[in-house]
Amino acid sequence: MTIAPQLNLSREALEPYWMPFTANRAFKANPRLMIAAKGMYYTTAEGRQVLDAMAGLWCVNAGHGQQRITDAIREQAGHLDYVSSFQMGHPIAFKAAERIAGLTPAGMDHVFFVNSGSEAVDTALKIARAYHRMRGEGHRTRLIGRAKGYHGMGFGGLSVAGIGRHRRDFGPLLPDVAHLPHTYSREHQAFSRGQPDWGAHLADELEAIAQINDPSTIAAVIVEPVTGSGGVLPPPKGYLERLRAICDKYGILLIFDEVITGYGRLGTPFGSAALGVTPDIITCAKGMTNGAVPMGGVIASDKVYDAFMAGPEGAVELMHGYTYSGHPLACAAAIASIDVYEEQDIFANCARASARWEDQAHSLQGEPHVVDVRNIGLLAAIEIAPKPGEPGGRALAAGNICFEAGVLVRTAGDALVLSPPLIITDGEIDRIFETIRGAVRALA
Ligand SMILES: Cc1ncc(COP(=O)(O)O)c(C=O)c1O
């Protein structure tokens, strides 16, 4: 297969598309284009098969091109393309919410639909503030995020996020935000398998923040149960439990941003089940539709939802929503995705494959430049020592070598970050880590 003839790859022809999170000029000088995908593999414009060790962008959890999802979207588009979800609805949105509630921890039964992870986070933060206001505690407006956290690119998510280079260009963000420290220490945690033993005490920083700011001003704490884009940082053992306990002590809502850990990545439908801590609000997106249609969701506990349902019957309880909230195509994809996850037992495959994944990832310990390996579920990060004065350079070079060898990995700073589709086989796991081994050995 060759590049589609209608595709003009001249710089001029590529210029109209302003690409997200991309070095546009460098990309357009040397474009990397995918033209098809099936299962674990992309087909590049040059006709090469490339193993997708990123599941798209942490989203294609059931693998690419799942026929049932494609058919459901096609059928829905021909049947009901769009209807507003404001003061009207369509049956499939209610069905989708019911199916999703079937996956969530007990007592988390209410789904508010949005279109992305970023919208899910902004919505969750707004729900948290409004929840307290509904209950006569409108003074609770403060939001607590965490260093190295990623919560999408809306102003709300960016405000609670903790990756400096993402925030620096955009002027003042939300006021009344504080940040917990991140949980990573290479000195204490390097080459931990799964959740590190060291670091639970860092949750006590929430206690310190509460004391400085007056706990009764804090609306919510938001964390990714496993920091994803910040470099795959599994929570230290006991850390999330302590956060939960401090939130309970002060009436603070705990929000888990499960945009990555939702839909099976830790071997359970949501990461909170695998990690044994239940938040008050969960945000999700990505695997919700297996990446096939944009969709996000905020899953609220009964406690949160019920607080909104206590006012006058005829009043709109939450002044919030989007034109495409509960879009029929997204709902059809969401239901079909759950069908696929369940029928193909995909979350169980993740749980099964995780042991080999962990072993293979940690077999890189001792290879040149590898200074840490982190893993949990089907997530991993391989930390590569940078050359002095060239942060990220070696990791980028390693990622490029892998791509040339037919394996697509993500580079984030000095780390190679891996999150393959959950349908991965043992052979594909071996291939990913052998390719990385070859790449780091080839590095200068
Ligand atoms: C934890 C987390 N929250 C939110 C987002 C934002 O999702 P989206 O890009 O769909 O807006 C992401 C995206 O990677 C994420 O990893």
- Residue-wise pLDDT for 376-418, tens only, equals 999 999 999 999 999 999 999 999 999 999 999 999 999 999 9
Q: In what order do the strands lie in the sheet with 41-44?
A: 34-38, 41-44, 49-52, 407-408
Q: Which of 253, 243, 217 is nearest to 124 (CA)?
A: 253
Instruction: Tell me which DSSP letter residue 236 carries.
Output: P
pLDDT value of position 444: 86
**pLDDT at residue 175 above 80?**
yes
What tokens were used for 403?
A: 């791509």
Angstrom CA distances, 241 to 103, 161, 225, 354, 359, stand at 21, 21, 11, 23, 27
Give the distance (Å) from ligand 1 centre to CA of residue 122: 11
pLDDT value of position 264: 98
Q: Residue 329: how many CB atoms within 10 A of its CB?
A: 23
> Rounded to an integer, what distance in angstroms lies between the CA atom of residue 101 and that of residue 301?
10
222: Cβ below 6 Å to ligand 1? no
121: Cβ below 6 Å to ligand 1? yes
**pLDDT at residue 145 above 80?**
yes
Give the distance (Å) from ligand 1 centre to CA of residue 35: 24
pLDDT value of position 438: 98
**Beta carbons of 269 and 234 less than 8 angstroms apart:** no
Q: In what order do the strands lie in the sheet with 218-223?
A: 110-114, 296-300, 281-284, 253-257, 218-223, 142-146, 177-180
Give the distance (Å) from ligand 1 centre to CA of residue 228: 9
Tell me which residue has tokens 């590898």.
370
**Ligand 1, atom 7, residue with closest C-alpha:** 117
Share of the chain above pLDDT 90, in %: 97
Angstrom CA distances, 181 to 133, 147, 229, 347, 411, stand at 28, 5, 16, 31, 23
**Beta carbons of 409 and 417 less than 8 angstroms apart:** yes
**Alpha-carbon torsion (391, 392, 395, 401), positive or negative:** negative
Q: Which of 223, 273, 271, 227 is nearest to 246 (CA)?
A: 223
> Rounded to an integer, what distance in angstroms lies between the CA atom of residue 46 and that of residue 34?
9
How many H-runs (helices) and E-runs (strands) does the chain carry? 17, 15
Which ligand 1 atom is the nearest neighbour of the CA of 117?
7
pLDDT value of position 138: 97
Q: What is the mean pLDDT of the chain?
A: 97
DSSP bridge pairs for 180: 146
* Domain ranges in the chain with CATH number 3.40.640.10: 69-343
Going by CATH, does the domain composed of 32-62+345-442 fall within 1.10.10.10? no
Give the distance (Å) from ligand 1 centre to CA of residue 239: 22
The SS3 call for residue 146 is: strand
What tokens were used for 181?
A: 């420290």
Those residues with Cβ within 8 angstroms of residue 396's Cβ, 6 or more apart along the chain or in another chain: 411
Going by CATH, does the domain composed of 69-343 fall within 3.40.640.10? yes
**pLDDT at residue 4 above 90?**
no
353: Cβ below 6 Å to ligand 1? no
Give the pTM. 0.97
117: Cβ below 6 Å to ligand 1? yes
Give the distance (Å) from ligand 1 centre to CA of residue 157: 9
Give the distance (Å) from ligand 1 centre to CA of residue 258: 9
Tell me the per-residue pLDDT of 196-251, one tens digit each, with 9 for 90 and over: 999 999 999 999 999 999 999 999 999 999 999 999 999 999 999 999 999 999 99
Give the distance (Å) from ligand 1 centre to CA of residue 118: 6
Tell me the per-residue pLDDT of 274-326, one tens digit each, with 9 for 90 and over: 999 999 999 999 999 999 999 999 999 999 999 999 989 999 999 999 999 99
Which ligand 1 atom is the nearest neighbour of the CA of 118?
11
* Domain ranges in the chain with CATH number 3.90.1150.10: 32-62+345-442
**pLDDT at residue 5 above 60?**
no
C-alpha angle with apex 203: 201 to 209, nearest 5 degrees?
Answer: 120
Q: Which of 415, 405, 416 is nearest to 438 (CA)?
A: 405
Average pLDDT of the residues in 365-371: 98
> Rounded to an integer, what distance in angstroms lies between the CA atom of residue 318 and that of residue 320?
5
For 210, half-sphere exposure in the C-beta direction (CA atoms, 13 angstrom radius) is 19
Give the distance (Å) from ligand 1 centre to CA of residue 58: 9
116: Cβ below 6 Å to ligand 1? yes
Which ligand 1 atom is the nearest neighbour of the CA of 224?
1
> Rounded to an integer, what distance in angstroms lies between the CA atom of residue 6 and that of residue 424?
34
Tell me the per-residue pLDDT of 16-73, one tens digit each, with 9 for 90 and over: 999 999 999 999 999 999 999 999 999 999 999 999 999 999 999 999 999 999 999 9
- In a mutational test of the pocket of ligand 1, which residue from 54, 118, 256 has the highest number of ligand atoms less than 8 Å from its CB? 118
